[in-house]
Amino acid sequence: MRLCVERAREIGFCFGVKRALDILEKAVGEHGKVETLGALVHNEQVLKKLQKAGINVALNVADIKGNVAAISSHGVSPEIEDEIRRRNIEIIDTTCPCVRRAQIAAQRLVKAGFFVIIFGDTGHPEVKGILGWAKGKSLATREVESVLEAKGSSRRLGILSQTTQIPEQFTGFVKGIIDFALTKDAEIRIIDTICPDIRRRQRTALDLANKVDLMLVIGGHNSANTRHLAELCAAVRPAYLIEKADELEPSWFHGCQKVGIASGTSTPEETIEEVLARLEEL
């Protein structure tokens, strides 16, 4: 039986990734080679392509060999920016405007006397950057309990989110903190810093998942937003996260008529086309 395949309406690169790639392309044209501090995006195919174009990854500031370095769309802390400048390295800033908004929100909250709570994955570069903008008066977690146990927090709490988190989970987290904090004479300020592209992408992927037998979510295995998308879809249908077409297993499609396709924000159109071509063969 022939599989019917439908793509989610919001698919492929997001605005922030497209913008970062455009800035880098221009920088390579001007400077020849450019290094990015950390991976520009969490997608192996994109990184290989960038390497061919003369854009390499430096794992940390000490690792930068040239005199031009790009900050990824995930952004960095002000301390890292200063460290790069101290080495007289020119900065090409590709920080996504949505991430910048979260950094500025954290900075303003701290200046106004709030202890900042970031709903996010502690090890993610974006979250590390936002923590830096909150000057140490902050905590990143996805667990309400960690907030209750946090040392150094004040009665004034400012809550924001990593841009790529699932909105419903952020809401649940905020409710948990409100329940606890309002028994302690607290003042709470909540800033919704979830990216609008992520909201649309999650909503359209979920709509599609509800109409099909199986969902394929294409993107980097280490991409936070791709994993969140797969997690959402898996709540309503069998869902597989794949990075490349050759990861598809024919056994997944037994008894399946309709397949939905969604992608993370750093998944190139070519990879999506390769998956569609492989599905044709199946």
Residues that bind ligand SF4 (CB under 6 A): 14-17, 73, 96, 98-99, 163-164, 195, 197-198, 225, 265
- Per-position DSSP letters for 207-255, written without gaps between them: HHHTTSSEEEEES-TT-HHHHHHHHHHHTTS-EEEESSGGG--GGGGTT
177 vs 206, beta carbon nearer ligand SF4: 206
Closer residue to ligand SF4, CB minimum distance, 43 or 153: 43
User: Of 10, 35, 81, 126, which one is the catalytic site residue?
Assistant: 126
At its nearest, how many Å lie between ligand SF4 and the CB of residue 217?
Answer: 15
Residues 6 or more apart in contact with residue 238 via CB below 8 angstroms: 213, 214, 215, 252
Tokens of 188: 């709470």
Identity of the residue numbered 174: V
CB atoms within 10 A of CB 38: 19
Measured distance between the N- and C-terminal CA atoms of the chain, rounded to whole angstroms: 10
Nearer to ligand SF4, 81 or 197 (CB): 197
* C-beta of 15 vs 252, nearer to ligand SF4: 15
Residue 186 burial (C-beta neighbours within 10 Å; 0-12, 13-18, 19+) = middle
Cβ distance to ligand SF4 smaller for residue 71 or 98: 98
Q: Are 87 and 68 in contact (CB under 8 A)?
A: no
Nearest approach in angstroms of CB 202 to ligand SF4 is 11
Over the range 246-278, which residues count as b (16 or more CB within 10 Å of their CB) and which as e?
eebeeeebeeeeebbbbbbbbbbeebbebbbeb
Residue 10 or residue 243: which is nearer to ligand SF4 going by CB? Answer: 10
Cβ-proximal residue to ligand SF4, closest one? 16
Q: Structure tokens of 239?
A: 């869902």
In the complex, what is the shortest distance from the CB of residue 98 to ligand SF4, in angstroms, rounded to a whole number?
Answer: 4
Closest distance to ligand SF4 from the beta carbon of 83 (Å): 23
- Indicate if 126 belongs to the active site: yes
Positions marked active-site: 126
